[in-house]
Amino acid sequence: MNARFTGRYEQKIDYKGRTCFPHYFRRLLAPQEKIYFHHEDKPNFITILPEQLLQDKWFDMLSPLNSSYNIDDTIKQLEKIGNTSKIKIDRHGRISLGQQTIEHKVYFVGAGEYILLYLGSKKSYEEYLINLI
């Protein structure tokens, strides 16, 4: 396992539903590297995946969906499934989480190959961490 993403970062969400993608994580991405949200079954969690991980990890799962493997087709297939979408990091290092998130804080947690994003109050995040122990 590649321990590329490590650390925890608490960020605020602005009135437009945007938050800063941690500078440390941005530095670890290759120039022009695409990243994707993958919405988890767990409430309050979103996984952020670099495109290469999407290719490597999901190839076997998605190969029956496409007779000839192509990353663009695979991404389109995942978007049709409805749980994965491309993230655009703007020139100020922000990503959009949507207006419905403005009452929350966001916590970025490096999980090796990918990043977990937790949306919620500081209290609910701390309770989640206590339950992990």
The domain spans of the chain are: 8-132
pLDDT level of residue 1 (50, 70, 90 thresholds): very low
Percentage with pLDDT > 90 across the chain: 20
Backbone angles phi, psi at 131, to 5 degrees: -70, -20
Identify the weakest region by mean pLDDT among 14-23, 27-36, 85-94, 98-107. 98-107
Give the model confidence (pLDDT) of 41-84 as tens digits: 677 888 888 887 777 766 656 555 555 556 676 666 666 556 77
The structure's pTM equals 0.75
Q: What is the pLDDT of residue 66?
A: 52
- Please give the mean pLDDT across all residues of the chain: 79
Give helix then strand counts, H and E, for the chain: 4, 8
Q: What is the pLDDT of residue 110?
A: 92
Residue 35, SS3 per DSSP: strand
Q: Name the superfamily (CATH) of residues 8-132.
A: Transcriptional regulator MraZ domain (3.40.1550.20)
